[in-house]
Amino acid sequence: MPARMYDLTAMKAPVEQPVLCRDLVSCQDFSPEETKSMFELTHIIKHRPADFRGALAGKQLVLFFEKASLRTRLTFEAGMASLGGTSLFMDQTRSLLGEREPVCDIARNVERWVDAVVLRTFEHKTIVDMARHTCIPVINALSDYEHPCQAFADFFTLEEKFGDLSKVHLAYVGDGNNVAHSLMLAAAALGTSISVATPKGYEPLPEVTAAAKKIGRGTGAIIDITNDAVKAVTGANAIYTDVWASMGHEKEAAARARIFASYQVNEELFSHAAPHAVFMHCLPAHRGQEVTAGVIDSPRSIVFDQAENRMHIQKAILLLLLGSGMRTSPTRSNHA
């Protein structure tokens, strides 16, 4: 499949683009058409970064992080700086949001000082509460329910690699967690078929599967949930996995290592994929657990392309949410 080509010269600067929606709490906050437009903008940003210097001059972004981060923090801060804006980092790893002061009060304060909020939290409810009580855009930078910025960067990477996403089959093997949820919802929006293979009892939440299948009926995406890893990866264009014990589940690590052992992405499992298949991981990765070093360090691994694209896609998100300066619409996403 040829990679998708864009006519960069025909595309306009992002500050002339309309604001898509108030918040990015879930992949569902962007319609399939809006997601595709975001990808087109991301291509321009990636290949013509100089065109966007100063696009968000005077704008300020605050980042509240309850969890440790390398890629998410750096890509948001570097991206905001390259657009001319500034960012403020609030380390919440020792005092979670809502413990010292209610989230609703924090929300009503920050909207008077900054232009947008990025949240990385343990509980999805914290992001929903923040979005409900502030009139500035709120961006989900990871919760226990979804990881939309990661999923959008992943599919943008797949589009770079394969072109038409409607002809791509993505297989996710491992825990039916927040990453799996966002991959399913983004796949459904983009018309990409996805198979998710998990141990019994670790499947994605039923409501997420139902939502993805409903969206997929309109785009042609097939959403398949199975407990058979070989079935999921057979013929797949890309195999994706994540850690078996996410942050917050460290106490379950030993038990999960036993339960997930047969879901390791290794050379034998990879042999069932399509000949041109690539390996994907949101990182950090545990070599020898969910993936072998032979797979993640092979030429077929595109994990660092995914990591790079986190910054490009998040710059597009920031531009679309902040570019026009429209901040006062009372309309909220369906998560509010």
Q: Which amino acids are annotated catalytic? A: 120, 147, 150, 242, 282, 310
Three-state DSSP at 246 gives coil
Cα 236 to chain centroid distance, Å, stands at: 20
Instruction: Write the burial class of residue 213 (CB in 10 Å: 0-12 exposed, 13-18 middle, 19+ buried).
Output: middle
Write the single-letter amino acid at 271.
S
* Distance (Å, whole) CA 179 – CA 77: 22
Torsion of CA 173, 174, 175, 180, to 10 degrees: -30
* Distance (Å, whole) CA 131 – CA 33: 23
* Distance (Å, whole) CA 113 – CA 260: 45
Tell me the Cα Rg of the chain.
19
* Distance (Å, whole) CA 333 – CA 137: 11
Residue 37, H or E segment: helix 32-47
Closest C-alpha among 80, 127, 133 to residue 109: 133
Q: At what angle do helices 124-133 and 103-110 cross, to 10 degrees?
A: 50
List the end-to-end C-alpha distance of the chain, in Å, as a whole number: 40
Torsion of CA 35, 153, 72, 90, to 10 degrees: 0
Cα 178 to chain centroid distance, Å, stands at: 9
